[in-house]
Structure 1
């Protein structure tokens, strides 16, 4: 396996392109180790600093795993749902997407997912979901907020796993991890009916009642959406408060160091 010398693109972009090409063509497979740093830099015709930048970029995309030590190196990964989840979380934090938009997609996707789980969930899946609800309720009663958030979010991931569809699992993890990050950032508390609605969903799965399962999921999402909208508003308000002194300092300071204050003329506004 050899790589071609780079041509005109930015260095790290062309390295990524070559790795992707070999991965998708089957030349490279998950678990394969890339050539050592010295050999790979020679093959590509680039210096080691540029190669390291490219490898870090590949790691950020989730295509490779960098391991240290004697048996370390750059290895092709099996793909990481984490990358999608982190990107979704970043978009929510940057206000590129809103809670309204996120919940609209959740309603479309997760009601259908609940129907699929009715057909495919095993007894073990149903028991995992039931235990998850009971654990979340116990953590809430003990005031363990951070642990409860983790458990509550994991409910949706367990349900996605019950569909036996890896795409569903990746999508759901991306959607729910974004909201989990928001909850951890500004705090959260559960809706009063949350645990009862989740148990209703679990019972519907056990009966293989698709309509009841979809209806329970819809209740869960519609009841929790206002909570996340409040959390979103709190986060935005906190961000504005944090940046207000900086903005005020910039407005009140002119380039020559004099104050930016002006005196208004009487009779004008």
Structure 2
């Protein structure tokens, strides 16, 4: 069995997740192989079993491992070249780019949500409801759900009744989708975040369904600000210069 060095860090779960991810992507654990048990990993890393279980849940959300009841946790069989392409596509955004993108999305999508509350059609509401149902299914299966997330946000833009809103999102679709993937990958490492994000999307949809423009805009702003804060992307505060 491969030997793994003990971890000494305050961010235990994150450290275990990162160490196992590196081991999997680096070929220490081959695709299809069974990982050591929670107890064995706990002993090798010198951490508690709860931290190991949370790390395995995070790896499952990243599609790097599959849990088989009664058998153990196995490394997902993946195409290494495809995984490399995905990592390249989702790793192009710097922290500043992520911050700028979320700032732009707050302005654009907040306004789109307000308009959508007054202009949504039955078809728009069905699309939003379908995206929410897909998100719930993704959570149940351990998937990141970034595709359903994109479907939802673009549907809000389309429901605004102004074709320039979805058109604008389409022009930055690659960056938005990369941000959605990276945000969910990092947030889903923390227990309960998937359910929190789902509730936030539900609140946006409920306000739109209720024709509550103020509520829809506020719910969208709250959601995007939450993502920004949880990823620690807040813009540093600046003090106004004193005039003399």
What is the TM-score of this pair, normalised by structure 2? 0.50
Structure with higher RCO (Cα < 8 A, 6+ apart): 2
Q: Which has the larger radius of gyration?
A: 1
